[in-house]
Amino acid sequence: MTSGMRARRWLSAVGLTFFALAALGSGKRGDTKGDGVALLATTKSSYVGNWEGLGVALRIAPDGTVGYERKTGAVKKTINGKLTRFDGDDIVVNALINVTLKVGAPPAEANGTWTMTVEGVKVHRTGDGSGESNDIDEKLEEHILEQFGASKGLSSVDCPEVEPSTPTFDCVAKLVNGKSAKVSVAHKSRGNYSYTVHVTDVEGPTFAGEMSKTISAETKRKITVDCGAGKSFFPNGEPLVCDATEGRKRGKAEFVITESGVSWKLTGL
């Protein structure tokens, strides 16, 4: 049988979010906003790129977008914003308020390796210096898991190695129940990605209560559905199987959920 009931608050069939791979910038004392960005194409071009060190990740993009992350034990410091100016070698970032990243040693090259010292940590430049990471797959895996780990029941994400110019590709998410689901990724512009997690989630008790009423009304029988105590997660299009009882008789209720409604069938009852 099929219920024409529209999907309600217990259903979000598709997870969609937008993610920008952060990048970073730097400059010179006295530069005003915009002037610092211009210097990235001239005297400060060596700052542009992806920088990594012990517990530190720094991204500096040619357009002045800045991203900085430092982990010290369980503490994580994150700065994302736009380059305002350079104060000597220091990088001044507008992240709601101006924040200065102290540069102890500006970018320098030795034997083909670029290094600098930021906030007391020596970092080296990775990739091609374009401001886009050459480990895009790892960054996307990290952010997809961060965004949807709890809300969509993801335990891990595996993305393919791709070139920065690849327009679309798919990642695979492993769910907490062992099932696998697709994550669609689209490259919107330089360093900017959107992704859709093809996982349906329902609140077990709420969903079971509503479906018990619906099935009982349509079959003219007293059917009780039990979908567990918490959230249920499953790939879009795959059925959700719950326990069903009628008096002492026990069976199963299988549901296929879409954005337009829910179809169901009973087995064993």
pLDDT digits (tens, 9 = 90+) for 174-217: 999 899 999 999 887 656 778 899 999 999 999 999 999 999 99
Fold of 23-126: Lipocalin (2.40.128)
pLDDT band at 258; cut points 50, 70, 90: confident
Which token pair is 244?
A: 């069903």
Q: Which residue has the higher pLDDT, 131 or 23?
A: 131
Q: How far apart are CA 140 and CA 194, in angstroms?
A: 10
Q: How far apart are CA 224 and CA 74, in angstroms?
A: 46
| Whether the Cβ atoms of residue 224 and residue 205 lie closer than 8 Å to each other | no
Q: How far apart are CA 1 and CA 182, in angstroms?
A: 28
Which token pair is 183?
A: 């994550």
Residue 24 pLDDT greater than 60, yes or no: no
Output the pTM of the full model: 0.52
In this predicted structure, what is the pLDDT of residue 154?
A: 93
Name the DSSP letter for residue 239.
P
pLDDT digits (tens, 9 = 90+) for 81-97: 999 989 999 999 998 89
Q: How far apart are CA 158 and CA 178, in angstroms?
A: 14
Q: Which residue has the tokens 């991203």?
A: 67
Q: Where are the domains of the chain?
A: 2-13+201-267, 23-126, 133-200
Q: How far apart are CA 153 and CA 262, in angstroms?
A: 21
- H or E stretch including 15? strand 15-20
In this predicted structure, what is the pLDDT of residue 74?
A: 74
| Whether the Cβ atoms of residue 164 and residue 130 lie closer than 8 Å to each other | yes
